[in-house]
């Protein structure tokens, strides 16, 4: 894709400018050597750009899947793979810079070509074909509709559909029949071409309206096949476990912030059913988990780790620290800081409006939920703010930071988060001490552990109602 966009589209456009501008001003291109230099500079830039992406992609993919003899991941941290391919980011930057320099050279060349010149005013004679002399290759509309390539395509498509529903022996017979029909069509078409008869493709190329209609129908076939599962959602999405619960008003506000900040550009929310992804991220994503996402946040690349099971994996304080300074929690991360979220405020009046809007898309919010949206999001925000305050972090319940944390803590939890409870303090994670040296004196025996409480402690606001984070 990148090679096509930069090499084909970009350099084709450059060639058009090099051809058009001198003719518009009735002169020669200022420097043909500069145009040649542009071509080679851009070509080298494209090669560096593409090769660096290939190397980094293959390298990171192998690191993701690398496992030791005991089956554990060799590189469990996503950041490890990111650091390994960082040199390729530099090469990619160099390639893109060369490509840009080439176009700057083209702009200079064209400006010098136009300098001191006046645009040419000229007329061009266009030869119009005699309508009375019919093009023998044009054919008629009947020739288009009855053309063998068209019907062979229809038969092939029908055979492909039938092929998926029949047993082995009929499938083999059907495949042989399609091959025979195709061979016969090829032989007949070859004889007609030898006899000088117009080809069907030559006819369709001379009839733009028929060509457009047939292309549109071809595209619609694929489009309908992709749209049908979403149209018949209840039949297409298998229900697994408990019913999915829609986002709360605050989580929906946070989701919109997630989209506004472009988080989906670097993070995916789609865990594939692969062993290494299960070990690194958790249970594979299921179709029904996205029925209330409008639009879904699957993403298309991973500059950062997948986030679909991030909810409950870390405490609120971790998310706050990570958003304020990503390097404080993930050394080597290239994620930018989002510290302004701590001071920016959400519009609490939009909570109910967003729920109401989601109902038009099929999300089953009740009138009571919509009416109480403002109070509910305030309650959930206060729970998160209180949890952070217990750890010396001051942030208001209506801040964008709290809304973003609420959304991130919800991801991967079918039943949502309980927030109307007293938050428990998050214990600071202390790294394990190094093993004692042989010369060290034996440590004193530890004191007896306190008896287990008879009652369950208050739930943390990050704890899911269905029993645990992923």
Angle between helix 373-389 and helix 350-359 axes, rounded to 10 deg: 120
Q: What φ, ψ does residue 361 adopt, rounded to 5°?
A: -100, 10
**Cα 64 to Cα 276: distance, rounded to the nearest angstrom:** 7
Dihedral sign for Cα 182, 185, 191, 193, please: negative
Contact indicator for 334, 349 with CB cutoff of 8 Å: no
386-400 pLDDT, tens digit each: 999 999 999 999 999
**6 pLDDT band (50/70/90 cuts)?**
confident
Flag whether pLDDT at 330 surpasses 50. Answer: yes
| pLDDT for the residue numbered 432 | 43
CATH class of 249-410: mainly alpha
d(CA 305, CA 314): 14
pLDDT at 424 over 50: no
Dist. CA 342–CA 344, nearest whole Å: 6
Q: Are the C-beta atoms of 391 and 317 separated by less than 8 Å?
A: yes
Closest CA to 189 of 205, 202, 207, 173: 202
Residue located via tokens 């009138």? 367
458 torsion bin: left (phi>0), alpha (psi -120 to 50), beta (else): beta
pLDDT at residue 154, rounded to an integer: 81
Mean pLDDT of 327-343: 93
Higher pLDDT among residues 84 and 228, named by residue: 84
Q: How far apart are CA 120 and CA 122, in angstroms?
A: 6
Domain assignments of the chain as residue spans, ordered by start = 2-114, 141-236, 249-410
Q: Say how far apart CA 340 and CA 400 lie, in whole Å.
A: 9
**pLDDT for 240:** 60
State the chain's mean pLDDT as an integer.
83
**Over the stretch 275-306, which tens digit does the pLDDT of each residue have?**
999 999 999 998 888 888 988 899 888 999 99
Beta bridge partners of 73: 67
Contact 417, 406 (CB under 8 A): yes
Span 398-419, pLDDT tens digits? 999 999 999 999 998 865 555 4
By residue count, the chain amounts to 470
As a whole number of angstroms, the distance between CA 74 and CA 70 comes to 10
**pLDDT tens per residue, range 196-222:** 777 777 788 888 888 888 888 888 887
């Amino acid at each position: 894709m990148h090679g096509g966009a930069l090499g084909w589209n970009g350099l084709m456009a450059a060639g058009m400018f090099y051809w058009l501008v001198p003719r518009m001003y009735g002169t020669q291109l200022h420097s043909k050597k500069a145009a040649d230099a542009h071509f080679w500079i851009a070509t080298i830039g494209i090669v560096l750009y593409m090769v660096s992406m290939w190397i980094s992609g293959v390298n990171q993919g192998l690191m993701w899947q690398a496992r030791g003899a005991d089956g554990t991941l060799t590189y469990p941290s996503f950041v490890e793979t990111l650091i390994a391919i960082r040199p390729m980011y530099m090469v990619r930057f160099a390639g893109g810079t060369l490509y840009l320099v080439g176009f700057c050279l083209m702009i200079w060349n064209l400006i010098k070509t136009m300098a001191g010149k006046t645009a040419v005013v000229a007329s061009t004679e266009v030869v119009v074909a005699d309508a009375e002399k019919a093009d023998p290759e044009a054919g008629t509309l009947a020739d288009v509709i009855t053309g063998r390539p068209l019907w062979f395509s229809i038969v092939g498509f029908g055979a492909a559909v039938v092929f998926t529903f029949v047993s082995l022996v009929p499938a083999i017979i059907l495949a042989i029949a399609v091959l025979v029909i195709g061979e016969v069509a090829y032989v007949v078409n070859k004889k007609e071409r030898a006899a000088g008869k117009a080809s069907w493709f030559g006819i369709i190329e001379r009839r733009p309206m028929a060509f457009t209609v047939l292309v549109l129908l071809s595209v619609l076939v694929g489009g309908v096949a992709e749209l049908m599962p979403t149209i018949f959602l209840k039949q297409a999405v298998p229900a697994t476990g408990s019913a999915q619960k829609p986002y709360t008003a605050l989580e929906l506000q946070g989701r919109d912030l997630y989209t506004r900040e472009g988080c989906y550009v670097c993070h995916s929310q789609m865990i594939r059913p692969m062993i290494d992804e299960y070990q690194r991220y958790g249970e594979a994503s299921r179709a029904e988990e996205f029925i209330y996402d409008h639009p879904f946040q699957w993403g298309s690349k991973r500059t950062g780790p997948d986030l679909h099971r991030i909810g409950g994996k870390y405490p609120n304080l971790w998310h706050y620290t990570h958003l304020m300074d990503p390097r404080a929690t993930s050394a080597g991360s290239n994620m930018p800081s989002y510290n302004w979220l701590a001071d920016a405020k959400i519009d609490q009046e939009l909570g109910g409006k967003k729920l109401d809007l989601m109902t038009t898309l099929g999300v089953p919010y009740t009138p009571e939920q919509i009416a109480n949206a403002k109070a509910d999001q305030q309650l959930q925000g206060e729970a998160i703010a209180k949890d952070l305050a217990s750890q010396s972090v001051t942030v208001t319940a209506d801040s964008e930071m709290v809304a973003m944390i609420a959304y991130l803590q919800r991801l991967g939890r079918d039943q949502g988060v309980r927030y109307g409870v007293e938050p428990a303090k998050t214990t600071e994670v202390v790294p394990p001490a190094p093993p004692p040296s042989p010369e060290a004196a034996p440590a004193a025996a530890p004191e007896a552990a306190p008896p287990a409480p008879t009652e369950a402690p208050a739930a943390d606001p990050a704890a899911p109602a269905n029993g645990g984070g992923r």
